[in-house]
Amino acid sequence: MTTIPPPFSGPPPGALRLELTGITKRYPSVVANDGINLKVAPGEIHAVLGENGAGKSTLMKIIYGAVQADAGQIQWNGREVVIANPSEARRLGIGMVFQHFSLFETLTVVENIALALDEPFDLKGLAERVREVSTRYGLPLDPDRLVHSLSVGERQRVEIVRCLLQAPQLLILDEPTSVLTPQAVQKLFETLRRLASEGVSILYISHKLHEIQSLCHSATVMRGGKVTGTATPSQETPASLARMMIGRELPVCEVPAYTGEARPVLTVSKLSMRPDDPFGTPLKDIDLEVRRGEILGIAGISGNGQAELLAALSGEAPGSAEAIKLAGQPVGHLDAGKRRKRGLAFVPEERLGRGAVPPMSLADNATLSAHAQGLVKKGFLRPKAAWEFAKTCIQRFDVRCGGPGAAARSLSGGNLQKFIVGREIMQQPIAMVVAQPTWGVDVGAAAFLRQTLIDLSRSGVAILVVSEELEELFEICDRIAVLAEGRLGPAVPKAQTNAEKIGMQMSGLFTSATDREPDHAAA
């Protein structure tokens, strides 16, 4: 059934599917798009490549009618159009699959799809069409299943099928693979190639260079709101694409060997926990051990117990005392503040609203977790000490911001992450748990953060990193374990495993991983 279409060979003699000329969008503090030109032919898979904040998302929203450009021209199938809103975009034949799904968990697949249609429907007939379209494109879906029982990969299929039902001529996908296993990614690519062979144009937004090289016919690279180049990805190297994307060489981490004593600092044994959230994942018999001087990586797709494990480790969801030990002492029953006092630092996935209080200044946010560092005396705040602490953190960890008085929410994701990581490191922890250290962070800041974590571990701190990015885990970790369906696999030294093996484990650890349809169980 895998018929790989012939590679795309230049635009056909007819009109272009989409042509943007001089698209400009200004926001009060930033020019998000500055004179963007973009051409997409029918049947072309076109990559839009760029870092966070390069203006990719704004551009896609303009094409989808969710945002109006201040200047510029949109030509659709050779005709100039004004796309006032998303439903107009859908009428023209433009579909968009968002990075974050907008599905109702308590409804079935077909009910969710019906909600998004602009036309009247009957559920039975629609269910048939869903079944038919989903099989035709190799995206099997049961229309009557409830969405909360679907894996992340399956939810993405719902979004894609929803678009396909409207027979789009242009499909926009925003970072579609960030939630998929390596095997599921291959499956998605097959579908996209088939669609392209039928004449559907695809705009593929990503910052993952190897994906773009294997999938896309052409690429437009953006940086700082401008187009910095166009390329044929298959004729470029990752390094040359990265140069176009970030304007310099891709930074590489240095990973020295650890020579100190490797005694265990953070140990988890037989940790089981039922989540408060009815759609959460229960943890089953988790065992792990993080030693001084190492970084242990936990791979897996979010929704497999990551949030629950992190809350259990940090103390936000305390449990039984003996399940978690820090330096030999049981801490499983303590709250996050008490664990921090004993030397456990935590960097959560959500920076705004969890790791930092959005409207408060960085100085006030220093007090949030570092109050024991002399920022509070006899129950009273010491604003000057907090200011100094924040200032030191800003300098030491290269946080680009307006100073200690800047509100947390005014910082970019990467800079806020540097501040939070720095704040935790300055408390001299003996163990540190970090979730998605570089999620939504630009390449430069990501490299800095990774190097910071490596250096910290080599100073004798035990570090546990939970990440969806396999490449990142392979770059910084010493050992890697996979969390799938609430169970944790054994931690394997990174030299003894590879992305393929990890991907198989992600797809369902304790069922026979080999004969199971890999993408099915991103669950």
Partner 1 sequence: MPLLEPRPTPSAQMRLWSPLIAIGLTLLVGSLLFLSLGKDPVAAFGVFFIQPLASGNGWSELMVKAGPLILIAQGLAIGFRARIYNIGAEGQLIVGALAGGGVAIACDGIDAGWVLPLMVVAGALGGALWGAIPALLRTRFNAQETLTTLMLAYVASFALSYMVNGPWRDPEGMNFPQSIMFGDPALFSPWFEGMRVNASILIAALASAGFWLFTSRSFLAYQLTVGGLAPAAARYAGFSADRTVWISLVLSGLTAGIAGIGEVAGPVGQLNLNISPGYGFAAIIVAYLGRLNAIGIVLAGLLMALLYLGGEAAQVALQLPAAITGLFQGMLLFFLLGADVFVDYRLRPRPKPVIA
Binder among 223, 371, 418, 458 for partner 1 (CB under 8 A): 371
CA pseudo-torsion sign 265, 270, 275, 280: positive
CA-based end-to-end distance of the chain: 25
Residue pair 285/270 in contact (Cβ under 8 Å)? The answer is yes
Write out the two tokens for 491: 């931690």
**Residues touching partner 1: how many (CB under 8 A)?**
45
Q: What is d(CA 172, CA 103) in angstroms, rounded to the nearest whole number?
A: 18
Binder among 10, 379, 496, 500 for partner 1 (CB under 8 A): 379
Residue 72 in contact with partner 1, rule: CB under 8 A: yes
Q: What is d(CA 402, CA 471) in angstroms, rounded to the nearest whole number?
A: 33
Choose the binding region for partner 1 from 229-237, 360-368, 391-399, 486-494 (rule: CB under 8 A).
360-368
Look at the block and give the residue holding tokens 């400009």.
Answer: 24
Kindly tell me which of 55 and 518 has the beta carbon lying closer to partner 1. Answer: 55
Choose the binding region for partner 1 from 139-147, 199-207, 274-282, 345-353 (rule: CB under 8 A).
345-353
Residue pair 303/477 in contact (Cβ under 8 Å)? The answer is no
Kindly tell me which of 59 and 97 has the beta carbon lying closer to partner 1. Answer: 59
Binder among 4, 71, 117, 167 for partner 1 (CB under 8 A): 71
Kindly tell me which of 211 and 349 has the beta carbon lying closer to partner 1. Answer: 349
Residue 11 in contact with partner 1, rule: CB under 8 A: no
Q: What is the 3-state secondary structure (H, E, C) of 327-356?
A: CCEECCCCCHHHHHHCCEEEECCCCECCCE
Residue 118 in contact with partner 1, rule: CB under 8 A: no
Write out the two tokens for 175: 């970072």
Residue pair 484/497 in contact (Cβ under 8 Å)? The answer is no
Residue 356 in contact with partner 1, rule: CB under 8 A: yes
- Beta strands (DSSP E) in 30-159 are 30-40, 45-49, 71-76, 79-81, 94-97
* Closest listed residue to residue 99, CA positions, set 321, 302, 377: 302
Look at the block and give the residue holding tokens 């396999």.
Answer: 470
Write out the two tokens for 323: 């399940």
Kindly tell me which of 20 and 160 has the beta carbon lying closer to partner 1. Answer: 20
Provide the 10 A C-beta neighbour count for residue 158: 25
Residue 31 in contact with partner 1, rule: CB under 8 A: no
Binder among 51, 174, 211, 364 for partner 1 (CB under 8 A): 364
Kindly tell me which of 108 and 367 has the beta carbon lying closer to partner 1. Answer: 367
By residue count, the chain amounts to: 523
Q: What is d(CA 486, CA 164) in angstroms, rounded to the nearest whole number?
A: 33
Task: Work out how close the CB of 104 gets to partner 1 at its nearest, in angstroms, rounded to a whole number.
Answer: 21
Task: Work out how close the CB of 341 gets to partner 1 at its nearest, in angstroms, rounded to a whole number.
Answer: 9
* Closest listed residue to residue 155, CA positions, set 408, 522, 405, 510: 522
3-state helix, strand, coil split of the chain in percent (to 5) is: 35, 25, 40
Kindly tell me which of 50 and 315 has the beta carbon lying closer to partner 1. Answer: 315
Residue 453 in contact with partner 1, rule: CB under 8 A: no
Task: Work out how close the CB of 450 gets to partner 1 at its nearest, in angstroms, rounded to a whole number.
Answer: 23
Task: Looking at residues 383 to 412 of the shown chain, list those that interact with partner 1 (rule: CB under 8 A).
Answer: 407, 409-410
Binder among 6, 10, 13, 28 for partner 1 (CB under 8 A): 28
Q: What is d(CA 123, CA 449) in angstroms, rounded to the nearest whole number?
A: 49
Residue 340 in contact with partner 1, rule: CB under 8 A: yes
Q: What is d(CA 95, CA 234) in angstroms, rounded to the nearest whole number?
A: 26
Residue 68 in contact with partner 1, rule: CB under 8 A: yes
Residue 367 in contact with partner 1, rule: CB under 8 A: yes
Residue 168 in contact with partner 1, rule: CB under 8 A: no
Residue 358 in contact with partner 1, rule: CB under 8 A: yes
Residue 37 in contact with partner 1, rule: CB under 8 A: no
Residue 26 in contact with partner 1, rule: CB under 8 A: no
Q: What is d(CA 345, CA 462) in angstroms, rounded to the nearest whole number?
A: 10
* Closest listed residue to residue 464, CA positions, set 490, 488, 433: 433
Kindly tell me which of 4 and 82 has the beta carbon lying closer to partner 1. Answer: 82
Write out the two tokens for 37: 């030109």
Choose the binding region for partner 1 from 103-111, 168-176, 216-224, 334-342 (rule: CB under 8 A).
334-342
Kindly tell me which of 245 and 390 has the beta carbon lying closer to partner 1. Answer: 390
Binder among 142, 190, 287, 316 for partner 1 (CB under 8 A): 316
Residue pair 355/347 in contact (Cβ under 8 Å)? The answer is yes
List residues bridging with 73 in a β-sheet. Answer: 21
Binder among 369, 436, 467, 497 for partner 1 (CB under 8 A): 369
Task: Looking at residues 75 to 104 of the shown chain, list those that interact with partner 1 (rule: CB under 8 A).
Answer: 80, 82, 84-85
Q: What is d(CA 130, CA 144) in angstroms, rounded to the nearest whole number?
A: 10
Q: What is d(CA 21, CA 5) in angstroms, rounded to the nearest whole number?
A: 30
Kindly tell me which of 132 and 350 has the beta carbon lying closer to partner 1. Answer: 350
Choose the binding region for partner 1 from 2-10, 120-128, 246-254, 348-356 (rule: CB under 8 A).
348-356
Pattern 189-208, partner 1, x by CB under 8 A: --------------------
Write out the residues near partner 1 by the rule CB under 8 A: 28-29, 68-74, 80, 82, 84-85, 314-316, 335-340, 346, 348, 350, 353-360, 364, 367-369, 371, 376, 379-381, 407, 409-410
